[in-house]
Amino acid sequence: MQKTVYITGADRGLGFALTKKFLEADYLTFAGQYLDEWNWLDDLQAECPEKLKLLKLDLETDSSIKNAAGEIRKMTDSLDVLVNNAGIFAPDVDDILGELDFEMMEKMYRVNSLGPLKVSHSVIDLLLKGEEKLLINISSEAGSIADCSRKKEYGYSMSKTAVNMQSKIIQNHLQPKGLKVFALHPGYLKTYMLGEKNEEADIEAAESAAEIFRHFVQNSKQYEEIYYDYQGEKLPW
């Protein structure tokens, strides 16, 4: 039976790299597409028309999330893996002694925190019917309270802490049904979150995707906790 995966935020960066990785492993791959002007997914689908299914997906729009789930249900009655990868980041515009951009913070919370929960909710029954029953939420080291040294970035950091809490609650609830949940820090990636590729970052998205796949998809049973970095190192809450 062919394995299935649903990946959000697959247009570029880590989401695109993970999409390629799952396709290489012969998964039927449902990829959330948000950026109409970015054609990487379209080109990849032309190469893999039977295995890659593109879904229009905007995490700020409830109807978009429900429609994407509906399209998946037309093609499969189960999911093995869900990767909540879609997220946004804003530059330092928040200073408790200066300006605080609450509008942008609220947007990050809607996309980064509530977005994954809404997506998980939309397909959780399919995930529980899958063989692997694996939920991966892409979090960040920024979500760690114990290791926090930041003096800014309230919105992004708090949004990722919320992802960690959501991951823990889902795991508490559904572990008896066989679900395994991870909240993963993918590393400081050379991605396009601010529009242009961040060449000052540490690693390429493809390297992070390969490590995430190796540790947390192929060898998920080796990891009993929830919050790790992409190399399998446990992170403090």
Q: What is the pLDDT of residue 112?
A: 98
Q: Judging by beta carbons within 10 Å of its beta carbon (0-12, 13-18, 19+), is residue 149 exposed, middle or buried?
A: exposed
Place of tokens 């998205």: 205
- Cβ atoms of 4 and 27 within 8 Å: the answer is yes
Q: What is the pLDDT of residue 82?
A: 98
Place of tokens 């995430």: 212
Q: Judging by beta carbons within 10 Å of its beta carbon (0-12, 13-18, 19+), is residue 172 exposed, middle or buried?
A: exposed
- Cβ atoms of 226 and 181 within 8 Å: the answer is yes
- Residue by residue, pLDDT tens for the chain (237 residues) are 899 999 999 999 999 999 999 999 999 999 999 998 889 999 999 999 999 999 999 999 999 999 999 999 999 999 999 999 999 998 766 789 988 999 999 999 999 999 999 999 999 999 999 999 999 999 999 999 999 999 999 999 999 999 999 999 999 999 999 999 999 999 878 776 666 676 776 799 999 999 999 999 999 999 999 999 999 999 999
Q: What is the pLDDT of residue 36?
A: 85
Helix, strand or coil, per DSSP, at residue 111: helix
Q: What is the pLDDT of residue 193?
A: 66
Q: What is the DSSP letter of 112?
A: I
Q: What is the pLDDT of residue 57?
A: 98
Q: What is the pLDDT of residue 195?
A: 64
| Alpha helical stretches, state H, the chain | 13-24, 40-47, 62-75, 102-108, 115-129, 154-174, 205-212
Give the global pTM.
0.95
Q: What is the pLDDT of residue 90?
A: 85
Q: Delineate the domains of the chain, giving CATH numbers in brackets.
A: 4-229 (3.40.50.720)
